[in-house]
Amino acid sequence: MAFRYPSGKKYAASSASTISSTNKSFGNRGMSLEQDLNETNIYYQSTGQCVIHKKPTPVQIVNVDYPKRSAAKITEAYFKQPSTTDYNGIYRGKYIDFEAKETRNKTSFPFNNIHVHQAEHMKAVMKHEGIAFLIIRFSKHNQTYLYDASHFSWWYFEQSDRKSIPKDDIERDGHLIPEGYAPRLDYLSTIDKIYF
């Protein structure tokens, strides 16, 4: 029997995605936060819950090598402009904008993961009554949090003596996102609790 994702894409099992009988948790499946969010967004869109997409990074292609037509290879490119945040869209009539970051740090979220123009962009979204937040994964703990941009802005712009946000503060002020199969990261249920 063939399994398909809600989008109609065929599921293909690989040895890397098989969960052994001794480890039945969803953790450590080798998926990145971005992959989890992209699959979640496909599920949300296919079920009509929201429209949220990953923003493409604007790139200017400078040079392409054409050894043969079917094997074109970009050999030189540069970023046209700094990107803002990773994802945006609409949910329940509200503009949603967020950055997704993964860290291997066990005790804090380092600021060097976020650029100034991204932090300023989230502030601008909040000023215009949009919903802005970060989705932060602590990969060593296999925990993913939704962290409102207002909390992040306070740490980023007003705490000049720090270079990171302590994990304890993210646990206190953030919201642990439930993990499952479909959707993989149910961040809409977390948005419902916080913003609606």
Would you tell me which CATH number, out of the four given (3.40.50.620, 1.10.3720.10, 1.10.150.20, 3.40.1350.10), belongs to the domain 41-56+69-195?
3.40.1350.10
Residue-by-residue DSSP string for 128-148: TT-EEEEEEEETTTTEEEEEE
Distance of CA 13 to the CA centre of its chain: 24
Q: What is the average per-residue pLDDT within 164-187?
A: 96
Cis upstream peptide for 58 (omega within 30°):
no
Closest by CA position to 26, among listed 182, 145, 186, 179 = 179
Pairing of strands 94-103, 131-138: parallel
30, pLDDT greater than 80: no
Supply the pLDDT for residue 14.
41
Q: Does 29 score more than 60 pLDDT?
A: no
Question: Which residue would you say has higher pLDDT here, 126 or 5?
Answer: 126
Binding residues for Mg(2+): 84, 86, 99, 118
Tell me whether strands 108-110 and 164-166 are parallel, antiparallel or unpaired: antiparallel
The C-alpha atoms of residue 78 and residue 26 are separated, in whole angstroms, by 37
To the nearest 10 degrees (0 to 180), the angle between helices 33-46 and 187-195 is 80
Confidence of residue 28 (pLDDT cuts 50, 70, 90): very low
Distance CA 191, CA 42 (A): 17
Binding residues: 84, 86, 99, 118
Is residue 186 scored above 80 in pLDDT? yes
The pLDDT tens digits for 31-86 are 599 999 999 999 999 999 999 999 877 677 888 888 877 788 888 877 666 678 99
The domain locations on the chain are 41-56+69-195
What contacts 153, CB < 8 A, 6 or more positions away?
A: 119, 122, 123, 126
Tens digit of pLDDT for each residue in 136-171?
999 999 999 999 999 999 999 988 788 999 999 999
pLDDT value of residue 27: 40
Per-residue pLDDT tens digits for 81-108: 667 899 999 999 999 999 999 999 999 9
pLDDT at 2 over 60: no
